[in-house]
Amino acid sequence: MPKIIELDVLDIRFPTSRELDGSDAMNPDPDYSAAYVVLRTDEGPEGHGLAFTIGRGNDVQAAAIRALAPHLVGKDVPEDAKALAELYFELIGDSQIRWLGPEKGVAHMAIGAVVNAAWDLAARRAGLPVWRFLARMTPEEVVSLVDFRYLSDALTPDEALGILRAAEHGKAERADTVAREGYPAYTTSPGWLGYSDEKLATLARQAVADGFDMIKLKVGGSLDDDVRRMKLAREVVGDDVRVAVDANQRWDVGTAVRWMRELAPYDPYWIEEPTSPDDVLAHRAIADALAPIRVATGEHVQNRVVFKQLLQAGAIDVLQLDACRVAGVNENIAILLLARKFDIPVCPHAGGVGLCELVRHLSFFDYVAVSGEVGDRVIEWVDHLHEHFLDPAVVERGRYLAPARPGFSAQLKDETLADYVYPGGPVWTVLEERG
């Protein structure tokens, strides 16, 4: 049996703050970064994974991943659901590491990076992209991947099994369909807060020409600016294109309601992250006040327990899971099952570093084996940094193409790893010299 012989971690950072790509009301100057992990083996493929951060602290995130090495190095390469379940339960069950969360923040994202790297490794060995590797598993195997602790008041293992069994019918056909037709995307590229009105209008127009029927704007900096930008976007894209807005947690309940009422005349499709991602009750209050405007959140929702409550409370209309915020594929399967149980569409968060690459596997799997439908589901698309990936996400005519290469698509090119490693890589030493 091949073994994992090394867990290697790199601090990779891209100097994105220079261009204001990714700027929003809470994050004015992100340097998109990845705490990047490679599971090296004594035979066959490696496994690659990452945690996405926005600059400072990426070294701390890397240290947290490194601290998990004893759970992996010297162990058999995981090949199947059983091994991938065991690894996940071992990692979230390390009580000393758990104390650092529990199941949230730096320590939890570190588990996510490692779990996803293990899935990458297992899928590569199987010669399949992760979404097909997952879709091939039986309902019983999929259920075995999930930790139901803290979920049973909303979803039992039996109910999960029922959901998955119901989706067995038509699975092969749906896999063919999604491989052929892709999966709907929306684009955030026009809407960064640091962009001029002219750039916003140009990019919004371009998005529609490129085939997108939904775009997203960042809001929450200045109400006057937001009204002007929303009006402009609506004029440019017309009435048939959905325009979502995203406040990146800037508001409390009262501000969210007041602010969104000013934007309501321009028909915002959803308000994303109106307030703290920890605040189930505030999301519920905002959703009640703003209906029929949808409330969305998830990129910063720390774990399945908070998602469960958002669903139980009727606090969200759209669930935006993130491939790297929670404990990897295993926990995201729990979240997909919860969303299905409560009949709330999953529209994943993406962008960042590698999030588009990874998360499409989860949406493809959701369609094939969990929800069984696309409906109004849509994956976020941000068109930057893809050139650094070996198996980049590709969007054509507003749809994500199906990933076809074996694995989880997280692998960065060797030259990217060499150039952008922080602080010693040439990209950073040159910036340092320029001052």
Q: Residue 308 or residue 361: which is nearer to its own copies going by CB?
A: 308
12 or 134: whose CB is closer to its own copies? 12
Q: What is the DSSP letter of 182?
A: -
Return the half-sphere exposure (C-beta side, CA atoms, 13 A cut-off) of residue 19: 10
Q: Which residues contact 41 (CB under 8 A, 6 or more apart)?
A: 2, 3, 4, 5, 47, 77, 121
Q: Name the catalytic one among 75, 108, 349, 388.
A: 349
Cα 274–chain centre separation: 18
Q: Is 349 annotated in the active site?
A: yes
Question: What would the two tokens of residue 21 be?
Answer: 């790509």
In terms of CB distance, is 158 or 198 closer to its own copies?
158
Nearer Cβ to its own copies (188/303): 303
Asked if 231 is an active-site residue, the reply is: no
Report the residue number, 54 or 134, with the smaller CB distance to its own copies.
54
Residues that bind its own copies in the complex, under the rule CB under 8 A: 26-31, 53-57, 59-61, 63-64, 67, 94-109, 149-153, 249, 252-254, 275-282, 285, 300, 302-303, 305-306, 308-309, 312-313
User: Least distance from C-beta 87 to its own copies, angstroms?
Assistant: 17
Closest CA to 259 of 233, 225, 234: 225
Pairing of strands 379-381, 183-191: parallel
Alpha helices in 238-388 (DSSP H): 253-263, 280-290, 304-312, 328-342, 355-365
Nearest distance from C-beta of residue 79 to its own copies, angstroms: 27
CB of 151 to its own copies, least distance (A): 7
Residue 405 zone, left/alpha/beta (φ > 0; ψ -120 to 50; rest): beta
Q: How far is the CB of 7 from its own copies (least distance, A)?
A: 14
- Burial track 343-362 (b if 16+ CB lie within 10 A, e otherwise): ebbbbbbbbbbbbbbbbbbb
Amino acid found at 73: V
Q: Active-site residue among 218, 308, 341, 361?
A: 218
Least distance to its own copies, CB of residue 143, Å: 16
Catalytic residues: 218, 349
